[in-house]
Structure 1
Amino acid sequence: MSTTMPAIFVSHGAPSLIIDECPTRDFLKLLGQQLGRPRAIVSVSAHWTTAEPRVSISPRPETMYDFGGFAEELYSLAYQAPGDPVLGQKVLSLLKEQGIPGGKDSSRGLDHGTWVPLMLMYPETDIPVIQLSVQPHLDPGHHLAIGRALAPLREQGVLIMGSGAVTHNLADFFGRDLGAPPLPYASAFAEWVAESVTANRVEALTDYRRLGPAAPRNHPTPEHFLPLFVAMGAGRAGGRVLHDGFTYGAISMAAFAWD
């Protein structure tokens, strides 16, 4: 019998998170042990954006180096987890049952929104991983519906992981030190998100651009926030904070779980 897994949202930060000495790296290295071993993982990454939901079905997804200008050692790392084409088809079937069209991608690998946190969480690379894309032109309600459609997978031992960032203004990221203190506007938004998640204020979160403090500045584009809604939709009412903190003063590294 499979163990029911939570749905989680993690902030994956810069690709260098995997080699940076910081509290979030330490947190992710312990998170896999705390969650237990899933049968498989569906990763909803901010770094795969498509017009409609797409699911990766490669049996051996490659490690993608979808970034530039970072330390050379990052480009020598590889996360060689197997894929799961059968699970990918199941994801599409669950979406279709809820009237959400989707498609398959047999060539998509694992981008850094997936492999960076997973290399810290599950370094053995023996758990099947598939990716699911986000649709930045569609609203949070659409992504909430995706999560609700996928919720039954949790009872089959599948970990649904949204990977993005609670705040993500790269204009304020560049030129700052890793341990720089949080910028006030970013800190205010991160606190509002944490309070809204734990109080299950779903309607407020889906209207974050209007209700969240300095939301347009925190998310000039929405793709890093949308994975949170998939995780929230897949979970039960009321999330809990797993981790808090900032990198570079502008990137909230908050993580949440929905049991």
Structure 2
Amino acid sequence: MPALYLSHGAPPLADDPLWPGELAAWSADLPRPKAILMISAHWEEAPLAIGATETVPLLYDFWGFPKRYYQVTYAAPGAPEVAEKVRKLLRHPGTPVHDVPDRGLDHGAYVPLKEMYPGADIPVLQISMPTLDPRKLMEIGRRLAPLREEGVLIVGSGFFTHNLRAMDFQHNRVPSMIAEFDDWGRRALEDQDLDALLDFEHKAPAGSFAHPRTEHFAPLFVTLGAGHEDMAAQRTVIDGFWSGMAKRSLQIG
């Protein structure tokens, strides 16, 4: 399986005239996964934690939206076998792995999956990000990479830029600094310049504007680690902007 990084969108993603179709077309072009492993910007917990391994209610981790967004369901099967493999791959002396059996999928996981796999018939497991350190996250991705050979789709779910104060829901005006960061990221990915990406806070133009906090860029590094042997096959699948934020999403392998 390839490894993906996707810009996941807020709950209103489902109402966008373009984005749901882009996600659906992307998934239709992929081999069917045996299971999906999600790493979302919306779950930071250390030590690394493993979410529910059976179907539990979703985590509506957002506020102030219309009622219908809290009525969305996505009852995907759990993936206990994948959870056990994750434990074996990631747990080693000094690095424990915890279980949080009642934590359901957050919106960084279920919002895009509902568009990509609407049947909710593929087992899904979500794990936490135990750090925002790009190098440590890349190492986690490298450790998880063998799961790809077993049919597991590894997905880092964030947003290529994420400055809520710069959003423009009405006109989708794109701040010049957001466009500049997106173009820099595109070129760094095309050049396979991992050193620049790992040090994006210092090397990217407008890095602190594009990401006042880096949790939405961080899942990219899990994806880069999981796909490190296939970087030559990396490509952007979705680009453009949504409400002033870059929705660049990529596939490795």
TM-score bracket relative to the smaller structure: over 0.9
Residue of structure 2 aligned with 1:193, choices 185, 195, 199: 185
For 2:38, what is the secondary structure of its paired residue? strand
The one-letter amino acid of 2:4's match is I
Query: Deviation of residue 198 (structure 1)?
Result: 2.1
Which of 165, 169, 181 is residue 163 of structure 2 equivalent to?
169
Q: Which runs of 4+ in 1 moved over 3 A?
A: 97-101
Letter in 1 for 2:195: E
Q: Give CA-to-partner distance per residue, 1:36-60, whole Å, 9 cap, x none.
A: 3100000000000112211113311
Cα distance change on mapping 1:98 and 1:24 into 2, 3 Å:
farther
Find the aligned partners of 1:186 and 1:33 in 2 and give their Cα distance: 30
Cα pair distance change 1:194/1:99, threshold 3 Å: farther
* Partner secondary structure for residue 168 of structure 1: coil
CA RMSD in angstroms comes to 1.5
Name the SS for the 2:155 alignment partner. Answer: strand
Deviates more, 1:191-200 or 1:116-125: 191-200
> Is 1:253 matched up with 2:225?
no
User: Measured at CA, do residues 194 and 98 of structure 1 come closer, stay the same or move farther in structure 2, by a change above 3 Å?
Assistant: farther
Query: Structure 1 residues 171, 115: closer, same or farther in 2, change over 3 A?
Result: same
- Partner residue in 2 for 1:111: 106
- The answer to whether the Cα contact below 8 Å between 1:46 and 1:113 also exists between their aligned partners in 2 is yes
Which of 88, 91, 94 aligns to 1:93? It is 88
Q: Provide, for residues 141-186 of structure 1, a one-character-per-residue CA deviation record: whole Å limited to 9, x for no partner.
A: 000001000000001000000000010011112xx22551321100
Specify the alignment match of 1:17 in structure 2.
13
Shift of 1:98: 9.2
AA aligned to 2:42 is H
Counterpart CA distance in 1 for 2:38 and 2:156 is 6
- In structure 1, what residue type is equivalent to 2:30? L
SS in structure 2 at match of 1:241:
strand
Percent of pairs with identical residues: 41
With the length of structure 1 as denominator, give the TM-score of the two structures: 0.92
Kept in 2, the 8 Å contact 1:57–1:88? The answer is no
Distance 1:76 1:55, change over 3 A: same
Check 1:247–1:128 CA distance in 2 against 1; reply closer, same or farther (3 A cut): same
Match of 1:148 in 2: 142
Structure 1 residues 207, 83: CA separation in 2 closer, same or farther (over 3 Å shift)? same
Aligned to 1:237: 231
Structure 1 residue 131: Cα displacement: 0.4
Residues of 2 paired with 1:121 and 1:102: CA distance? 29
Question: Do the aligned partners of residues 98 and 219 (structure 1) sit closer, same or farther apart at CA in structure 2, a change above 3 Å counting?
Answer: farther
1:50 aligns with 2:29: no
1:254 Cα shift? 0.7
Q: Retained in 1: the 8 A contact 2:6–2:159?
A: yes
Q: Deviations over 1:75-133 (max 9, x none)?
A: 11100101112211211210125974322211110000000000000000000000011
Deviation for aligned residue 1:211? 0.3
Matches within 5 A, 1:210-221: 210-221=202-213
Counterpart residue number, 1:35 = 30
- The question of whether the paired residues in 2 share the 8 Å contact of 1:81 and 1:129 is answered with yes
Partner of 1:133: 128
Q: What letter matches 2:226 in structure 1?
A: A
Q: Any stretches of 5+ residues in structure 1 without a counterpart?
A: none
Q: Secondary structure at the match of 1:64?
A: coil
Q: Which residue does 2:2 correspond to in 1?
A: 6
Inter-partner Cα distance in structure 2 for 1:192 and 1:135: 27
With over 3 angstroms needed to count, the CA separation of the structure-2 counterparts of 1:217 and 1:77, relative to structure 1, is same
Aligned CA distance change for structure 1 residues 135 and 160 (closer, same or farther; 3 Å) = same
Q: Structure 2 length normalisation: TM-score?
A: 0.94
CA 1:141 to 1:207, structure 2 compared with 1: closer, same or farther past 3 Å?
A: same
Q: How big is the shift at 1:223?
A: 0.9
